[in-house]
Amino acid sequence: MFDKLIQTLKNAPKTIVFTEGNDPRILEASAKILQDDFLKPILVGSEEEILGVAKKNGFNVEGATIIDPANYDKMDEMIDTLCELRKKKGLTREDAARMLSQANYFGTMLVKMGYADALLGGATYSTADTVRPALQIIKTKPGNSIVSSCFILSREKDGNNELLAMGDCAINIDPTEDQLVEIAEETIKCAKIFGMDPKTAFLSYSSLGSGKGEDVDKVRNACAKAKEKMPEEAIDGELQFDAAVSPEVARTKCPDSPVAGYANTFIFPDINAGNIGYKIAQRLGGFDAYGPVLLGLNAPINDLSRGCNAEEVYSMAIITAALA
């Protein structure tokens, strides 16, 4: 799965900001990135501290750009730009300076101002603290109404690389019908970037009318709208998870469905179901989980899990930059 993304980057190398520049996992991943020339890390933090941690752990980060918000020579320009962007919120220069002393806001502004192509944070920041600056500053792409997310899950099966896409497991807490349609559209696009042929199931506790309730109606209506909006895509719902993935169950519950039994792209009704669902696949299903990959943002910014290791940082950096 990564060969395709690395080839994309080799054709058009990118720069990526790491907001937690002094974290040993970030430095180990940066050292690995610097062994090739398709991606250049920008490490945010004190140069002395970053180089000290790298030296102590034996990571060679020569060639990385290190930028310290405490002595950044373009800070005045950055403060002006942030004040302009947030003027409707009444942001003062003091507020802006305080925000930009924090690596999450500072790094996001490097992307906004075109000094970097992509950003990866969240090794120590929470999801909310990584995502909020992006929502406030980078905003949604033209034509999108929300930022959402998906996970790409990967495992080896019978000598093949099995890939699944799951959205939205990380951002929108209780999406509306129309937001579910947008989540599906973006998740399908993302699945294709990873080389998948998406077969999309809108998940529920009901399969094509077997159960009743407001939550079922939401998923059914969203699925109907998604089918209308993307007639060329294989989409069905509402489907229970077993009907979505088991050909045997699908034959009994929904024999005429073009998706049931073979779904590989899953749209969850809300963040509770989605977050629990992808973690079950990861922890009990033996899948590696990559994400959350943020969707619908005007620039590629992604969030790491705080429990991540250097290998995951490296993988997410490639995914994030390849989306640029």
Ligand X SMILES: CC(C)(COP(=O)(O)OP(=O)(O)OC[C@H]1O[C@@H](n2cnc3c(N)ncnc32)[C@H](O)[C@@H]1OP(=O)(O)O)[C@@H](O)C(=O)NCCC(=O)NCCS
What residue ranges bind ligand X (CB under 6 A)?
127-128, 131-132, 135-136, 140, 146-147, 170-173, 275, 292
| Residue 69 and residue 41 in contact, taking contact as beta carbons nearer than 8 Å | no
The closest alpha carbon to 27, from 290, 308, 313, belongs to: 313
If the CB atoms of residues 12 and 276 are measured against ligand X, the closer one turns out to be 276
The edge-to-edge listing of strands for the beta sheet with 118-121 is 65-67, 39-44, 14-18, 118-121, 301-303
| Residue 184 and residue 267 in contact, taking contact as beta carbons nearer than 8 Å | yes
* Joined tokens for residue 6: 């690395």
Distance CA 121, CA 109 (A): 13
Q: Least distance in Å: CB of 134 to ligand X?
A: 9
Q: Least distance in Å: CB of 229 to ligand X?
A: 19
If the CB atoms of residues 207 and 302 are measured against ligand X, the closer one turns out to be 302
If the CB atoms of residues 130 and 257 are measured against ligand X, the closer one turns out to be 130
177: amino acid identity, one letter: E
Half-sphere exposure of 150 toward its Cβ, with a 13 Å CA cutoff? 30
If the CB atoms of residues 31 and 111 are measured against ligand X, the closer one turns out to be 111
Q: Least distance in Å: CB of 178 to ligand X?
A: 13
150: amino acid identity, one letter: C
Q: Least distance in Å: CB of 170 to ligand X?
A: 4
Q: Least distance in Å: CB of 172 to ligand X?
A: 5
Distance CA 100, CA 75 (A): 8
Q: Least distance in Å: CB of 136 to ligand X?
A: 5
Q: With the C-alpha atoms ordered 172, 234, 320, 282, is the resulting torsion angle positive or negative?
A: positive
If the CB atoms of residues 127 and 154 are measured against ligand X, the closer one turns out to be 127
If the CB atoms of residues 32 and 132 are measured against ligand X, the closer one turns out to be 132
DSSP H or E segment with residue 266 = strand 265-267
322: amino acid identity, one letter: A
If the CB atoms of residues 12 and 128 are measured against ligand X, the closer one turns out to be 128
Q: Least distance in Å: CB of 139 to ligand X?
A: 7
Q: Give the contacts of 56 (CB within 8 A, at least 6 positions apart).
A: none
Measured from each CB, the residue nearest to ligand X is 135
- DSSP 8-state class, residue 138: I
If the CB atoms of residues 149 and 207 are measured against ligand X, the closer one turns out to be 149
- Please spell the DSSP secondary structure of 285-314, one letter per residue: S--EEEEEEEESBSS-EEE--TT--HHHHH
Q: Least distance in Å: CB of 20 to ligand X?
A: 17
